[in-house]
């Protein structure tokens, strides 16, 4: 029952199927979240970053999708570079978050919005000259402290940034999951996609 695109089954449908079929559940709610899938004609060339579905029997039914530029995966991929860790170091950012204060979090509460249907938006900067796809949260990071050079001093502000990004990720994922639970009635949840590796969330 997957939604098909020119190259076959869509990225997030495959993530959802993998999560469900690898689980021990005959039926389950499914949440997928990563940087992005492929650009889809059905979304005017935009890509999906987060999706929810219900799987049962031989059917996988999509319930909701979040489109790029709202992408927890993209946000969490940017953070390790900003913090001087480099590629594939999202786990280091997650660990560093435990040492930060809420000082940065207090500055970024208005950079995202939780929508009533379980979706979310990472908002653009309040600037008419902002580039397409630019995120207010990324700009807030840049304004809060300088990016850390690889091997450079780790400032308390860098720890605060890690904590803020982790907190936003947790708050959004829990919002999506709670709404999925309410909509599907399922007590089981299968998770897939790169953001699904965020074990703290």
What pLDDT digit, counting tens, does each position of 34-79 carry? 999 888 888 899 999 999 999 998 899 999 999 999 999 999 999 9
**Closest alpha carbon to 58 in 21, 29, 4:** 21
What pLDDT digit, counting tens, does each position of 102-158 carry? 999 989 999 999 999 999 999 999 999 999 999 999 999 999 999 999 999 999 999
């Amino acid at each position: 029952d997957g939604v098909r695109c020119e190259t076959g089954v869509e990225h997030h449908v495959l993530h959802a199927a993998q999560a469900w079929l690898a689980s021990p559940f005959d039926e389950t709610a499914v949440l997928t979240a990563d940087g992005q899938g492929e650009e889809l004609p059905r979304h005017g060339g935009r890509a999906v970053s987060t999706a929810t579905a219900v799987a049962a029997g031989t059917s996988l039914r999509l319930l909701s999708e979040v489109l790029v530029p709202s992408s927890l995966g993209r946000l969490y991929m940017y953070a390790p570079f900003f913090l001087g860790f480099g590629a594939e170091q999202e786990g280091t950012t997650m660990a560093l978050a435990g040492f930060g204060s809420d000082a940065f979090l207090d500055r970024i509460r208005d950079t995202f919005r939780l929508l009533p249907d379980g979706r979310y938006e990472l908002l653009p900067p309040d600037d008419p000259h902002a580039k397409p796809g630019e995120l207010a949260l990324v700009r807030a990071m840049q304004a809060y402290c300088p990016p850390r050079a690889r091997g450079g001093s780790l400032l308390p502000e860098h720890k605060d940034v890690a904590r803020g990004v982790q907190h936003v990720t947790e708050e959004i994922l829990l919002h999506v999951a709670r709404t999925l639970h309410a909509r599907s009635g399922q007590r089981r949840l299968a998770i897939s996609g790169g953001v699904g590796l965020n074990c703290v969330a």
